[in-house]
Amino acid sequence: MAREKDSGPSMASTRRGVVALGVATLAGLGARSARARARARVWITGETDPRAALARIFARLPADLATGRRVALKANFNSADPFPAATAPDTLEALVARLSAMRPSRFVLAERSGMGDTRAVLEAAGVFRLARRHGLEVRVLDGLGAEDWVAVRRPDFGWQRGFLLARDFAEAELVVQTCCLKTHRFGGHFTMALKNAVGAVAKLDPRDGYDYMRELHASARQRAMIAEISTAFRSDLVIMDARKGFRTGGPEAGTLVEPGLFLASTDPVAVDAVGVALLRRFGTTPEVARGPIFAQEQLARAAALGIGVGSAAAIELAGLDEAGERAAAELRPLLL
């Protein structure tokens, strides 16, 4: 793995527990089982050209993965800061082009930024120009009406009144996300696949203005609440752009590292666990470095909810090239 400088299992097909706005239960609507997945594979490639990296990853997936399906894409545009604070333009371009070529019945990127106006962030990132080139629909989640959200509630959640998930994700038949490798200094400890789903949740309830993000960031259960979102946010494929990352600080700025890798999996818990091992490889914050990886609260809660694998031993690291194999060999002992 490269320098530092300062600055698989089958595709998930079960619908998660998503309910209509105002309904207070997940019962009977395909809520995820509390049993963790038995195994998960995380692919690793040292290709630094996203087109080449995605070619290696998608060669392991069905050729018609997105064909004829309602596809929702979740990138990382929390702020207008450059990669690795946000999704790299070349990664987004390569991923959108590949999925668009599969001819989905609907293809939408939906986003809500936590640090800035979402539309302005997407404009600065060139997302609207890219979308026009590839027939991608872009949905800015700020200010949507009640009909554009679904309420997700369970009595065992840390969310006081549940949360609202964007209907674009609730009704998708395939959800693909691309996330970054970062620590998170505002209480999340790290922000990768599970944390990326926060951008699919409403900040304010359109009915009464209730601030879900204020609740999240003020809660002592913040990291568990982050994980709970993925009971409703399906993760069919996760692509982590770990060419660069923040080993401290984050999410918009931090101490830069350059692992020079892409990670991918159908299991967001497995991807995050390997991401934590990668941060530990370079030296990271005390919170992320402490204890067994699955004792990290995001991962422990996600495993308990059956969102992905339940232990590091259940993760298979698969190098897709020589650099990926070297990285897998380095990460295995850190993961376990």
* Position 16 pLDDT exceeds 60: no
Answer whether residue 213 is part of any domain. Answer: yes
| CA separation for the pair 316, 328 (Å, rounded) | 9
Residue 10 lies inside a defined structural domain of this protein: no
Query: Which token pair is 50?
Result: 């996203």
Average pLDDT over residues 300-322: 97
Q: Strands 70-74 and 315-319: what pairing?
A: unpaired
Per-residue confidence (pLDDT) for residue 36, from 0 to 100: 66
Yes or no: say if 55 and 330 are a contact pair by the CB < 8 Å rule.
Answer: no
Is residue 6 a part of any domain in this protein?
no
pLDDT tens-digit map of 232-254: 999 999 999 999 999 999 999 99
Find the angle CA(25)-CA(33)-CA(217) to the nearest 5 degrees: 60
Q: Are 300 and 189 in contact (CB under 8 A)?
A: no
Residue 1 lies in a domain: no
With 80 as the cut, is the pLDDT of residue 270 above it? yes
**What pLDDT is stored for residue 58 in this prediction?**
98
| Domain housing 168 | 19-331
Structural domain includes residue 11: no
* Contact (CB, 8 A) for 151 and 22: yes
- Report the alpha-carbon distance of residue 185 to residue 208 in Å, rounded: 30
Banded model confidence at residue 143, pLDDT cuts 50, 70, 90: confident
Q: What does the alpha-carbon distance between residue 195 and residue 177 come to, in Å, rounded to a whole number?
A: 11
Name the token pair of 268. 């967001």
The SS3 call for residue 41 is strand
Whether residue 296 is contained in a domain is answered as yes
Q: Binning pLDDT at 50, 70 and 90, where does residue 37 land?
A: confident
pLDDT level of residue 149 (50, 70, 90 thresholds): very high
The reported pLDDT for the residue numbered 24 is 35
Taking only Cα atoms into account, the Rg of the chain, rounded to an integer number of angstroms, comes to 18
pLDDT of residue 194 exceeding 60, the answer is yes
Q: What is the mean pLDDT of residues 36-40?
A: 84
In a domain, 7, yes or no: no
Q: Integer distance in angstroms from the first to the last C-alpha of the chain?
A: 19
Token pair belonging to 72: 């929702």
Task: For residue range 202-236, list pLDDT tens digits in order.
Answer: 999 999 999 999 999 999 999 999 999 999 999 99
Domains identified in the chain, total number: 1
Q: Confidence class of residue 12 from pLDDT cuts 50, 70 and 90? A: very low
pTM: 0.90
SS3 50: helix
pLDDT at 23: 40
Asked whether residue 5 is assigned to any structural domain, the reply reads no
Helix axes 322-335 and 268-282, enclosed angle (nearest 10): 90
